[in-house]
Amino acid sequence: MSNETQKEVELVSAEHPLIPVLALRGLVVFPGMSLQFDVARPKSILALKNSMDQEQKIFLVAQKDLTVNDPGKDDLYSIGVIAKVRQVIRRSDEGIRVIVEGISRGKIISMPEGNTEYLSAEVAILPTKVTKKVTPRQEAQMRYVRTQFEEYIRNYTQISPDLVIGVLEKKNCGDLADYIAANINFDYEQKQQLLEELSPFSRLQKLSRILKDEIRVLTLENKIQEKAKEQIDENQRDYYLREQMRAIADELGEDDTPAEEADQMRKRIQEAGMPKEQQEKLLKECDRMAKMPEGSHEASVILSYLDTCLSLPWNSSSKEHIDLSKAKKIMDRDHYGLTKVKERILESLAVKKLNPKMQGQIICLVGPPGVGKTSIAHSIAEAIGRKYIRVSLGGVRDESDIMGHRKTYIGSMPGRIINAIRQAGVNNPLLLLDEIDKLGNDFRGDPSSALLEVLDPDQNSTFYDHYIDLPFDLSHVLFLTTANDASAIPAPLYDRMDVITLGSYTHQEKFHIAGKHLIPKQLKKNGINSDQLKISASAIHAIIDGYTREAGVRGLERMISEICRKSAIKIVKNSKIVIHVTPKNLEEFLGPKKFREENQNKKDQVGLVNGLAWTTVGGEMLPIEVAVMDGSGKIELTGSLGDVMKESAKTAISCIRTRAKSLGIRTDFYSKYDIHIHAPEGAIPKDGPSAGAAMATAITSALTSIPIRHDVAMTGEITLLGRILPIGGLKEKTMAAYRAGIKTVLIPSENVPDLEEVDTEVKKSVQFLPVEEIDQVLNVALTKKPVPLQ
């Protein structure tokens, strides 16, 4: 504390520098205010006893956090009120009721450290600025606040109108602000702000703003209450009319009483064979319903609740048959490829057969659309004899969709999980949670958090749905989940699942899937015999290459369906016709080719490089073009590039500058030329650092006028020193290169272990060259070596 401040400080008591301190929860006392409250904490009781020995003075100060039971100096506000204890009344429950009167504002100067019996502090009296004469501005503010207070009383009926007289008696700003703040009900933190304001006029202005907000809230609250009262009156009228209708129905013998319905429900509950705890709770609900009057709305709610609970398969299970050879045969019949998924499923089934009580890990299938994630779950259910139920989670934003709604609400219902169990009719179905990465969250809750209990084998044996409000055992359910993008799954949920990644299909796999699955399926769907429509193998290859560019086979299936529909018209006109689909007449059915072969009419070009990109729907080719023009050193980046990709382009330019002489490039190219970097398909956003090596290669080619090989693609992040760093999504990127007919792919050396996951057919067709520096990339990608400058 400075010397000047020290001079202004007047201690409460020179004889006793330390004054007892009483910490208040959610309560602020003002000077001139009398208040009674209960004291129960031991330290607070001791502080009161000691205050009686010090002229009954005590320092009342609010604590910042109401949940703290033993507050210290840091938990208290520094400014409070020095008060006098007027009366202490002992209560029978070992508590104390105390009546205090505020004297003046005070500030804590220091407090003893360490564990003390009670709180005490050296407190300084804070002088309040008092003006001898009220200015016109102050008088205007006081009148406005008095008007606000009267309006507040009209809206808030719990305050006596007699307080208006006390308000009129206050003749200065400070007393008026303290009096009103002490007698109205608003947040203690706002009251603390008023207590800490030493300027009377500023204090009155702050109070005016608070009153304005409170009046607005109270006005809205009164409107809501009036509407509610009108609704109650209308409901009361409806109740009397319904009672008359029920009396008439009772005279005609056309209505069942709640007691009779309760007896019927009680019999069903006893025959359901559910666990004892659940049975007892439902029987209590029956007893409640039996005591209700006829036509009671609550009785119908209870009846609906009981009916829902009884429809759950508490003890009903389907008999599981685990035959590994049969399961493998069914999965191979329905799906071509997916070796890793099938092996993982067979492992889980083998463990289940050895230990039936074992609760396995939740399997999550992650992969691009159309690769068979959803359909394989149906095959697994058929293979092991379980009921199959699918729950789509795409776009779910309300956690009540998972956990259900409280049964007290109008229109409440169970969540999707319990509804699926009801639909299955057994307590051990195979439940597929589809599109788990598409869950959203907003003000209604976070559904992904609600799934944490569902997908934890150690917790879901006592799953509580808000509507059912009874523990239901989900541990017998076999859960499978699917997702397109694993990074979109929340981390706690991802940790509970065993993730299996499904890659894109190769051309050969698509060919086999079309021949074994898609064509027979579409022929049957369109009512065509295999003798009437024949699609040649070469036509299938032509469809895959010329009409589809996808990771899965949905687009391929649509093309086959279109052929079947056009063939159906010809068959209806001539039932004896036999249609042969070949590459020559394919355009008659599907129109002109949508995609040409990537390597057709392609040549080595300057400034054009083949990059590789990863997307949620598989790998894609990412061509990058660079143009160099005379200018002043401007760098233009176009093609919907993200911030990371823009930074990667600038890094590539700086890397080229560091080795310009060795590459035969003018050292002042950055100030003599404008460089324009463009990624085609500008409407599609692109981001990530993995195109750094490709951009550096294209920039070098443009500056040296040396073409880049068209049959080479590359991926890798570049650094300022020219190092090539590892990337992700190698499997998908190599698949894109394979589809485009690329012969050589340059990959970072640290990604070599990831080649184990690349399909065998891709490794046979594509040569992979690991690189560590940009010089190695340029040696392979450029058609000739640059000539260094002398």
List, by residue number, the catalytic residues: 690, 733
- DSSP of 430-483: EEEEE-GGG---BTTB-HHHHHHHHT-TTTGGGEE-TTT-SEE--TTSEEEEEE
Q: Phi and psi dihedrals of 626, rounded to 5?
A: -130, 130
Contact predicate 749/626, CB 8 Å? no
Quote the distance between the C-alpha of residue 641 and its chain's center. Answer: 26
Q: Which positions ≥6 away from 227 have C-beta within 8 Å?
A: none
**Which of 391, 461, 388 has the alpha carbon at shortest distance from 430?**
388
Report the distance separating Cα 510 and Cα 370, nearest Å.
Answer: 11
The β-bridge partners of 79 are 107
What is the CA angle 193-199-203, rounded to 5?
Answer: 45
Specify whether the backbone of 372 is left (phi greater than 0), alpha (psi in -120 to 50) or beta.
left
Contacts 24+ apart (CB under 8 A), 10-15: 10/124, 10/125, 10/127, 11/109, 11/122, 11/123, 11/124, 11/125, 12/57, 12/59, 12/82, 12/106, 12/123, 12/124, 12/125, 13/54, 13/55, 13/57
Q: Which positions ≥6 away from 594 have C-beta within 8 Å?
A: 546, 547, 549
State the DSSP H helix or E strand holding residue 547, giving kind and residue range, or none if neither. helix 537-547
Report the distance separating Cα 625 and Cα 609, nearest Å.
Answer: 7
Proportion of the chain in helix, strand, coil states, percent, rounded to 5: 45, 20, 35
What is the CA angle 161-166-172, rounded to 5?
Answer: 135
State the DSSP H helix or E strand holding residue 7, giving kind and residue range, or none if neither. helix 3-8
**What is the DSSP code (8-state) at residue 751?**
G
Quickly count: other Cβ atoms within 10 Å of residue 254's Cβ. Answer: 9
Report the distance separating Cα 82 and Cα 634, nearest Å.
Answer: 70
Contact predicate 175/183, CB 8 Å? no
State the DSSP H helix or E strand holding residue 745, giving kind and residue range, or none if neither. strand 744-748
- DSSP of 111-137: ---S--SS-EEEEEE-PPP--SS--HH
Report the distance separating Cα 656 and Cα 675, nearest Å.
Answer: 12
Quickly count: other Cβ atoms within 10 Å of residue 544's Cβ. Answer: 23
Report the distance separating Cα 758 and Cα 730, nearest Å.
Answer: 8
Residues in the chain, overall count: 790
